[in-house]
Amino acid sequence: MQTSLYTGISGLNANMSNLSVIGNNIANVNTVGFKGSRITFGDVLSQTLTGGSGTNQIGLGVQVGSIQKLFGQGAFETTGNSLDMAISGNGFYMVKDPVLSTRYYSRAGQFTTDKDGYVINPEGLRLQGYMANSSGVLQNTLQDLQLSTQTVPPNATTSANLTANLDSNSPVTGYVFTAGTNDNMRFSVDGGTTWLTASLVTDGGLSSGSANTGATVGAAIKAALESVNGNADTYDVAYDDQTGLFSVTNNTGNAGTLVLDWGNALSTSSTLLGFTASSGALAAGSTNTSDVAGGAFTLAKAGETSNFSTPVTVYDSLGNSHVVTLYFRKDSLGSVGNSWDWYAVVDAADSTSGATEVQAQGTVAFNTSGALYSESPVTYPTGGFNFTGGALQNQLISLDFGTSIAQAGTGMDGTTQYGTNSAVSMLTQDGYSSGSLQRTSIDQSGVISGIFTNGIEMTLGQVILADFPSTMGLSNEGMNLYSETYDSGQPLIGAPGTSGRGLVQSSTLELSNVDLAQEFVNMITAQRGFQANSKVITTTDELLAELVNLKR
């Protein structure tokens, strides 16, 4: 009869333990990353009344079998802190005590940084992961994650890429004549017996040092010839602004033969007009056309001797920014399409020499469909870009106008030459100034990227997760921390999203997985079990009282 007393007591103890587990779950309903538990019961080894038959056994009560952790996924809460992280799936964060070097595991992702830049949890334990080197390449050594608070060193520009359209209707231009320098032309009206010299400035009426259109220069050639010869309307000069060619005609009815001898003219004049050393004798009614397109880019008149320009910001070795202006000048119309010259001009304020200079130049060529098909190598008249401020001199910057893009099968055309306004569609360069860490972002793979004040985004590190063969075997150390045990097995570490490990959700926290409604139901069940077992004890007590009363 007394056995039933102890059976009832075991029931009371078991249900009280159950209430303790339920109470702990409810107490942590708002604990970030908390995982609820449940209790399991087992009956106590029974006694056998007679014989060895299983039909004659009486149980001796109940005992607690185990308390199991429930590692089901908790709900997510969005926060404004990028270092708040939730794990969607399996895995644990690894944190380390910086003093004792003890490693723990946790699902709670409330992280911040300390004064030294280490990523820590509320207890000051440091988050573990892989750090990146100064170039942003992840290393494979597990260590404390530390977000750099230092500045990123500057990076000098080594390449610039520009994609644009250059208007195919742009005229060939670039005619600047200066009196006494490149304005003279030598000609004969009697077939080469008597030679005369005419000035495009003095006799032709051009303004010295000014930029002129081809049509204006053509009119000046006509005026200079007729002024020196003394006859009006004896010559015609035409100009084609798409080919850049001049045509000189000795009109019908002229008595003499016109000979233009550019070999004895100033060489820069013949170069500008596109004639070779001698144009040949022009009898009355005959015409001579220049051999190549004329004109030239003149630095002093850069805007007037080019067809299009665009500024490009580049950086020197010290991270100082400089504006380089790219000028494009239509050069000639060939059999397969147009070619354009480009010039990279550095203003006097940015140039080491203190003078405005062309510090790089080249040529781009287009086919008859307007597509870019070749670029000349970049040449550096000054040996490279030379910027002021103590930066490295002869800085080489390669300029790519999209030949590689057009030929790579990407569907992009690179720079084009269509019959529409000149305009830039893409402009990039690889240089930047120094910068300090402004904010961080974390992707689902746990990669931590730093966004710096200079606009550069660089990989700083990666959060690494651990999983276990048996999460049930982990030891609860309090403060949402677990430690490995023999029963849990060794931690299996790796990047989020690999080998069954979950993904990291930044600016998110995983809440407790406790179901409050279920816990209240469990509480009622435990209460009823306790009450029922107490009845066993009180009933047994009454029976024992009756037994004692038999003596009276």
Q: pLDDT tens digits for 272-302?
A: 888 877 667 888 889 988 888 888 999 999 9
Q: Identify the DSSP state of 544.
A: H
Q: Is residue 318 part of a domain?
A: yes
Q: Is residue 477 part of a domain?
A: yes
Q: Would you place residue 405 in the very low, low, confident or very high pLDDT band (cuts 50, 70, 90)?
A: low
Do 165 and 181 share a structural domain? no
Count of the separate structural domains present in the chain: 4
Nearest-Å Rg of the Cα atoms of the chain is: 45
- In this predicted structure, the answer to whether residue 537 has a pLDDT above a threshold of 60 is yes
- In this predicted structure, the answer to whether residue 408 has a pLDDT above a threshold of 50 is no
Is residue 50 classed exposed, middle or buried when 0-12, 13-18 and 19+ CB atoms within 10 A define those classes?
A: exposed
- Read off φ and ψ for residue 287, nearest 5 degrees: -130, 145
Estimate to the nearest angstrom the gap between the alpha carbon of 523 and the chain centroid: 55
Do 201 and 91 share a structural domain? no
Q: What is the pTM of this model?
A: 0.72
Q: Which domain holds residue 24?
A: 2-72+513-549
HSE, CB side, 13 Å, CA atoms: give it for residue 185: 35
Do 358 and 285 share a structural domain? no
Q: Is residue 299 part of a domain?
A: no
Q: Of the candidates 429, 452, 476, which is a domain's last residue?
A: 429
Give the residue among 520, 525, 534 at the shortest CA–CA distance from 12.
Answer: 534
- Are 29 and 81 in contact by the 8 Å Cβ rule? The answer is no
Do 445 and 405 share a structural domain? no
The CATH number covering residue 323 comes to 2.60.98.20
Tell me the pLDDT tens digit for each residue of 214-271: 999 999 999 999 999 888 888 999 999 988 899 999 998 777 888 888 777 666 777 8
Do 269 and 245 share a structural domain? yes
Q: Would you place residue 373 in the very low, low, confident or very high pLDDT band (cuts 50, 70, 90)?
A: confident
What's the whole-number average pLDDT of the chain? 90
Q: Is residue 542 part of a domain?
A: yes
Do 442 and 424 share a structural domain? no
Residue 461: both structure tokens together:
């590190």
CA distances from 483 to 21, 96, 350, 425 (A): 20, 11, 61, 57
pLDDT at 122: 95
Residues in CB range of 377: below 8 A, 6 or more apart: 362
